[in-house]
Amino acid sequence: MPSGFFDHEQTPALLVLEDGRSFRGVSFGATGEAFGEAVFSTGMSGYQETLTDPSYHRQVVVATAPHIGNTGWNDEDDESSRIWVAGYVVRDLSRVRSNWRSNRSLDEELRNQGVVGIAEIDTRALTRHLRERGAMRVGISTVELDPAKLLDKVLQTPSMAGSDLVADVTLAEPEVVPAVGNKQLTVAAIDLGIKDMTPTRMAERGIEVHVLPASVSLDELRELAPDGVFFSNGPGDPATADAPMELLQGVLDQGIPYFGICFGNQIFGRALGFGTYKLKYGHRGINQPVKDLRTGKVEITAQNHGFAVDAPLDRAQLTPWGHARVSHVCLNDDVVEGLELTDDDGNLLAFSVQYHPEAAAGPHDSAYLFDRFVDVMQRRKRSTTDAQEN
């Protein structure tokens, strides 16, 4: 059989949701069992980036695009060192891979990494079910084909609400991503499950990025004397992220410019005094419309979040550091998609978005946010130099 074909025997597999609904399909990727939170992603492309996004840790991802695997797997597009999804659910697994960069098939890569997949599932029915009932726990198995028995195991799986997963994904030792060209600025990026494209997008703008473990202390951060601090995306419930939130409050006390993405937006929200809550089924995909409330402009964004910040859309709130307000909102459901902190003159001090401006595999409408971060850092740098000279 030509290489790239789905070339092993079809093994039956079973999917069971925590409310008892079950679907029968066939195995692909590794055989065995996988459990997690069932979520669906509406991206038509970019499955390699999705599967390697650490924010999907402990989640079983359902692809709503009916045909998956046609571009295979390459050695360039991974967003981290491994696949993080707990399991992968597709309708029709492509029997052929066809792309000039493809090195192997999706099926092979899932097998290499021991990740369980299930194909031939009615993903449309499954997605409609999750939309109506909400995200819930799920199991997929090639070894337990009795729905009642698999359900017992699903019910023993921990829920996503209340899960603190940062320690599972953060790097052990700091890493430096050098600036492309002349170094203009230094950023300390706290790794809560960072995607590789984020430091890349910063480095392209002359930023030397120090990617740091989540356990870093405020003193260690200050020793680095960064021009800005960044908190990444990451898995788990933001309500559990007390230590990162306290670290961020310390950063704001120092007046250091801040930018956060996704989990970094939720933690910023908490630091500013807002709450977070779990969405019914979340936003996942690369086609989500977001409005910038400052400019009225709409961006099409990449998203992956199951929780959101609870903040009023129509008014600012006074905090110890300045005025906090919602800067971006999702046009599908009015969910908070961005926050900003400004001084009395309206100058931006710190900001964050719930979506993904680094957006591998696109769209790139929101890349301007990295330039905005550079502007905030440059302005602060100028004002501290001016203050020292006077």
Ligand X SMILES: NC(=O)CC[C@H](N)C(=O)O
Q: Is 72 in the site for ligand X (CB under 6 A)?
A: no
One symbol per residue from 327 to 366: x for binding ligand X (CB under 6 A), - otherwise; what is it?
----------------------------------------
Is 388 a known ligand-binding residue? no
- The only residue of 123, 127, 157, 233 in contact with ligand X, by rule CB under 6 A: 233
In contact, 264 and 192? CB cutoff 8 Å: yes
CB of 231 to ligand X, least distance (A): 9
Is 113 a known ligand-binding residue? no
Is 87 a known ligand-binding residue? no
CB of 154 to ligand X, least distance (A): 20
CB of 85 to ligand X, least distance (A): 13
Give Cα 390 distance to the centre of its chain. 44
Query: Could you confirm whether 358 is annotated as catalytic?
Result: yes
Is 35 a known ligand-binding residue? no
Catalytic residue among 262, 328, 330, 340: 262
**Count residues contacting ligand X (CB under 6 A)?**
12
Is 263 a known ligand-binding residue? yes
Task: Read off the tokens for 199.
Answer: 């430091």
Q: Which residue in 127, 2, 160 sits closest to 72, CA to CA?
A: 2
Is 362 a known ligand-binding residue? no
In contact, 71 and 46? CB cutoff 8 Å: no
Is 159 a known ligand-binding residue? no
Task: Read off the tokens for 252.
Answer: 């704001």
- The only residue of 47, 263, 351, 370 in contact with ligand X, by rule CB under 6 A: 263
Catalytic residue among 129, 283, 328, 356: 356
Q: Which of residues 296-315 bind ligand X (CB under 6 A)?
A: 304-307
Please say which residue, 53 or 365, places its beta carbon nearer to ligand X.
Answer: 53
Please say which residue, 103 or 287, places its beta carbon nearer to ligand X.
Answer: 287
CB of 323 to ligand X, least distance (A): 25
Please say which residue, 288 or 304, places its beta carbon nearer to ligand X.
Answer: 304
Sequence letter at residue 252: L
- The only residue of 29, 46, 228, 236 in contact with ligand X, by rule CB under 6 A: 236
Q: Is 52 in the site for ligand X (CB under 6 A)?
A: no
CB of 312 to ligand X, least distance (A): 20
Catalytic residue among 108, 144, 337, 358: 358
Q: Is 268 in the site for ligand X (CB under 6 A)?
A: no
One symbol per residue from 182 to 221: x for binding ligand X (CB under 6 A), - otherwise; what is it?
----------------------------------------
Determine the Cα–Cα distance for residues 314 and 311; give it in Å rounded to an integer.
9
Q: Is 244 in the site for ligand X (CB under 6 A)?
A: no
Cis peptide before 361 (omega within 30 of 0): yes
- The only residue of 110, 197, 262, 339 in contact with ligand X, by rule CB under 6 A: 262
Q: What is the 3-state secondary structure (H, E, C) of the chain?
A: CCCCCCCCCCCEEEEEECCCCEEEEEEEEECCEEEEEEEEECCCCCHHHHHCCHHHECEEEEECCCEECCCCECCCCCCCCCCCECEEECCEECCCCCCCCCCECHHHHHHHCCCEEEECCCHHHHHHHHHHHCCEEEEEECCCCCHHHHHHHHCCCCCCCCCCCHHHHCCCCCEEECCCCCCCEEEEEEECCCCCHHHHHHHCCCEEEEEEECCCCHHHHHHHCCCEEEECCCCCCHHHCHHHHHHHHHHHHCCCCEEEECHHHHHHHHHCCCEEEEEEEEEEEEEEEEEECCCCCEEEEEEEEEEEEECCCCCCEEECCEEEEEEEEECCCCCEEEEEEECCCCCEEEEEECCCCCCCCCCCCCCHHHHHHHHHHHHHHHHHHHHHHC
Please say which residue, 63 or 166, places its beta carbon nearer to ligand X.
Answer: 166
- The only residue of 27, 50, 55, 94 in contact with ligand X, by rule CB under 6 A: 55
In contact, 366 and 301? CB cutoff 8 Å: yes
Q: Is 235 in the site for ligand X (CB under 6 A)?
A: yes
CB of 286 to ligand X, least distance (A): 13
List contacts with ligand X (CB under 6 A).
Answer: 55, 233-236, 238, 262-263, 304-307
Q: Which residues are annotated as a binding site?
A: 55, 234, 236, 263, 266, 304, 306-307
Catalytic residue list: 262, 356, 358
Q: Which residues are annotated as a binding site for L-glutamine?
A: 55, 234, 236, 263, 266, 304, 306-307
